[in-house]
Amino acid sequence: MKKKFSTSWKSSKQPRKQRKYKANAPLHLKRKFISSNLSKDLRKKYGKRALPLRKGDLVKLMRGKFKGKKGKIIKVMVKTQKIWVEGIQVKKQDGAKVNISLRPSNLQIIELNLEDKKRNNSLKKIVKEERTKEKKELPEKKLEKQEKSEENKKNQNKKNQMESKK
């Protein structure tokens, strides 16, 4: 099997090919693989379902032994697609505590680290795009409401005529 990454690859049902794609992907694509879903209030605020994880984000564990615990991200390894969270540790046989590596799919972002200017700007762009989409959709929604109200009036008139004939 070739170890080279295929840029023309679209998708496959075969798990081995999916694993190969993820394993041989370049780092700029692997960065997108370490994204995690946002909490409901952040989804409303930014209009996005998921964002790539960053050091300093506050996350909640959704699966596993530490389910429900919250903590800040200490370390993100893009190459191995692993995340380490503050306070999520296991005791070793000799008594020492060791941080556990987690998969991004098992985490949910509760609070974003907004210290990075690039991330801030990209999130502001997302919010602006959402608002412009809403403004464009508003006239269409008004027309739909007017059409519905006209249909309701017609239906009521028909009902009244049917009742008067009885």
**pLDDT tens profile 87-100:** 999 999 999 999 99
Q: For the segment 27-43, what is each residue's pLDDT rounded down to a tens digit?
A: 999 999 999 999 999 99
User: Contact 76/55 with Cβ under 8 angstroms?
Assistant: yes
C-alpha to C-alpha distances, 166 to 123, 158, 160, 161, nearest whole angstrom: 62, 13, 10, 9
Q: For the segment 119-165, what is each residue's pLDDT rounded down to a tens digit?
A: 889 888 888 887 777 777 666 666 666 677 777 777 777 777 777 77
Helices (H), 7-116: 15-24, 27-33, 40-46
Whole-number CA gyration radius for the chain:
25
User: Contact 150/144 with Cβ under 8 angstroms?
Assistant: no
Looking at this protein, which amino acid is placed at residue 126? I
